[in-house]
Chain A
Amino acid sequence: MLRLEDLSVRFGGLTAVNTVSLSVGSHEVVGLVGPNGAGKTTLFNAVSGLVKPSSGRILFDSADMLRTPLHRRARMGIGRTFQIPQPMHELTVRENLIVAQRFGTGAVDTRKIDEVLEFTALTDKAERHAATELALTELKALEVAKALATNPKLLLLDEVLAGLETNGKRRFMGMLKDLHEKFAVGILIIEHDIETISNLCHRVAVLNFGELIADGTPDKVFRDPEVMKSYTGASDA
């Protein structure tokens, strides 16, 4: 479904993503890991259209996305969340989803919005003001809910579990697993926690200094000494 071919993103002299080739199949869950500054979020930004790649190709359902504007990518089925939640200010939780659904799919289906609210445990907060009346777990859930409201084929989840306390993390993990089953989406997820990735993902790709250094099953990748070295910063695994 998503195929990156030799994708590079450069900011002046800095190469944030360096000739990365990676694919995510329909209904596949792929983890994207790597130390801070490895280029994970930049790669998400390139796929969702927030930054322009310097070279390489982004193919989604075989269509070249390089010239596709950001808003159209959402309509084609690419949904994303932000690491720091970005609720639409001035709107209630429900209005956030209405905007996402109306512009992401072209129509408003209130039944589907109720379903997404229930799935993300936000039904009770639907009429609350999104920017000021939600706790962090709820803001993270709203990020996922907005993306789901656009009826995505591929979800880019950027550290949705980061900053959550243990219980919240466990509940969120359960939700992510159900999400994959219920909404039949492919997922590319950035996450630091190896256990989470191992539980959730079919495959894991590792970025280090913008380069893809491993791509395979979690079992195989997390046994790779080079990966563990880059991940833990240890001189020897």
Chain B
Amino acid sequence: MKMSKTGLAVIFAAYVLVPLLLGSNSYVMSLIVAAMIIGGIALAWALLGNLGGMVSFGHSAFFGVGAYVSAILTMKAGVPVLAAMLLGGAGAVAASLAMLPVLRLKGPYFALAILAYAHIFKILATEWSSVTGGSAGLASVPRFPTLMGVDLSSKTGSYLIVLSLLLVFIAAYRLIRSSHYGIALRAMHDSEDATRVVGVNSTLLKALMLFVSAFMTGVIGAFNVHYINFLEPDYAFSGLWVTLPIVAAIFGGYRTILGPLVGAVTVYLVDQLVFKNLIPSGHQLVLGALLVAMIIFSPGGLMPLLRKGSRRKHAAA
């Protein structure tokens, strides 16, 4: 996989410059981590939307299940935190198995059915109180460990973990997209019958994308629970874990790989640092207006807009 010089520079800046310059400001670091959590879900959501052609309103289920599985495994079975996070992703994949029947549905029917599934998991987390702690939730969820002298439970440490997760997700997304499976998935968007008659098992490919997307979201959910150290059903399965990522992905450009991340960081940071100060209550209204403007003026989102801008600059130079 080729990596551009700009890409390497951005990675270097993210790993070295951000912690050096902003590491001491825990407020800004916590905003960045929160934006990256939204970005991670947005990326996973966009992968399902872009490659699988499915619009999901149920990603909060994967986020919540990942969080609960990881928290329970660390608290009740003594599984190390980093391993439990991966198992949280696996738990989300297991939850997505229950959603397989809805893959036969298309468009709004799929979106609504998967939203209903998300509620089932929330009810499960509330009612199965012997394991999940019920509506009171779980407190004192284990924090990240110290690894090679770096305290991963600090703001900067947590930032490095979520940054690494996102980079792995981006690499996985790129690999899938450029594989034959990725090409077939792109082909399926507007011509599913045409791809099926040449031998593409469209249901299986969509299921695989659902698994990958659920895994990523589950891992992010697990990361979040060890980052904030508590969990309760209303928070873990909150609709915000899917609406904010959708806004971010569409704002940034859900058909691109980096769009959802750029969208999440832009939307979340601008909202928290600018609009929240200007309009303390109801500042999300501005986000709604921004999203509408983006859809009208650049339906592909921020990334295609930036690319168009840089091409124009090159052409003028």
Q: Which residues of A contact B (CB under 8 A)?
A: 48-50, 69-72, 74-75, 79-80, 82, 86-91, 95-96, 98-100, 102-105, 108, 131, 146-147, 149-150
Q: Out of A74, A89, A105, which one reaches B197, CB within 8 Å?
A: A74
Closest 8 CB pairs of A and B: A88-B187, A74-B199, A86-B194, A104-B199, A103-B199, A100-B198, A89-B190, A103-B200
Chain B residues in 8 Å Cβ range of A89: 187, 189-191
Proximity bits, B182-194, A CB within 8 Å = 1, else 0: 0110111111011
10 A-B residue pairs with Cβ-Cβ distance under 8 Å, sorted by A, are A50-B193, A50-B197, A72-B199, A88-B188, A90-B189, A90-B190, A91-B183, A96-B187, A102-B180, A146-B198
Q: Which residues of B contact A (CB under 8 A)?
A: 180, 183-184, 186-191, 193-202
Main DSSP-derived SS at the A contact region: helix
A102 contacts B184, CB within 8 Å?
yes
Bound CA span A36–B188, Å: 29
Bound CA span A103–B183, Å: 11
CB-CB nearest in chain B for A147: B198
B193 contacts A71, CB within 8 Å?
no
B183 contacts A98, CB within 8 Å?
yes
B194 contacts A88, CB within 8 Å?
yes
Nearest chain A CB to B204's CB is how many angstroms away? 8
Question: If A98-B180, A108-B180 touch, does A71 touch B196 (CB 8 Å cutoff)?
Answer: yes
Nearest chain A CB to B262's CB is how many angstroms away? 22
Chain A residues in 8 Å Cβ range of B202: 71
Bound CA span A146–B196, Å: 12
Chain A residues in 8 Å Cβ range of B187: 88-91, 95-96, 99
Question: If A98-B180, A98-B183, A102-B184 touch, does A87 touch B191 (CB 8 Å cutoff)?
Answer: yes
Chain A residues in 8 Å Cβ range of B193: 50, 82, 86
CB-CB nearest in chain B for A149: B198
Chain B residues in 8 Å Cβ range of A105: 199
B180 contacts A71, CB within 8 Å?
no
Nearest chain B CB to A85's CB is how many angstroms away? 9
B184 contacts A99, CB within 8 Å?
yes
Bound CA span A71–B195, Å: 9
Chain B residues in 8 Å Cβ range of A74: 196-199
Chain A residues in 8 Å Cβ range of B195: 88, 99, 103
Bound CA span A116–B56, Å: 39
Bound CA span A88–B202, Å: 13
Bound CA span A149–B200, Å: 13
Chain B residues in 8 Å Cβ range of A103: 180, 184, 195, 198-201
B191 contacts A70, CB within 8 Å?
no
CB-CB nearest in chain B for A150: B198
B199 contacts A71, CB within 8 Å?
yes
Nearest chain A CB to B180's CB is how many angstroms away? 5
Most chain-B Cβ atoms within 10 A of its Cβ — which of A74, A103, A147, A150? Answer: A103
Nearest chain A CB to B185's CB is how many angstroms away? 10
B197 contacts A70, CB within 8 Å?
yes
Bound CA span A35–B63, Å: 57
Chain B residues in 8 Å Cβ range of A96: 187
B194 contacts A87, CB within 8 Å?
yes
CB-CB nearest in chain B for A88: B187
Chain B residues in 8 Å Cβ range of A88: 187-188, 191, 194-195
Nearest chain A CB to B5's CB is how many angstroms away? 27
Chain B residues in 8 Å Cβ range of A90: 186-187, 189-190
Bound CA span A70–B192, Å: 12
Chain B residues in 8 Å Cβ range of A91: 183, 186-187
Chain B residues in 8 Å Cβ range of A70: 196-197
Bound CA span A105–B183, Å: 16
Bound CA span A42–B140, Å: 63
Nearest chain B CB to A148's CB is how many angstroms away? 10
Bound CA span A71–B202, Å: 8
B197 contacts A69, CB within 8 Å?
no
Chain A residues in 8 Å Cβ range of B183: 91, 95, 98-99
Most chain-A Cβ atoms within 10 A of its Cβ — which of B184, B194, B202? Answer: B194
Bound CA span A199–B269, Å: 70
Nearest chain A CB to B188's CB is how many angstroms away? 8
Nearest chain A CB to B208's CB is how many angstroms away? 13
Nearest chain A CB to B184's CB is how many angstroms away? 5
Chain B residues in 8 Å Cβ range of A98: 180, 183
Nearest chain A CB to B48's CB is how many angstroms away? 17
CB-CB nearest in chain A for B195: A88
Chain B residues in 8 Å Cβ range of A150: 198-199
Chain B residues in 8 Å Cβ range of A50: 193, 196-197
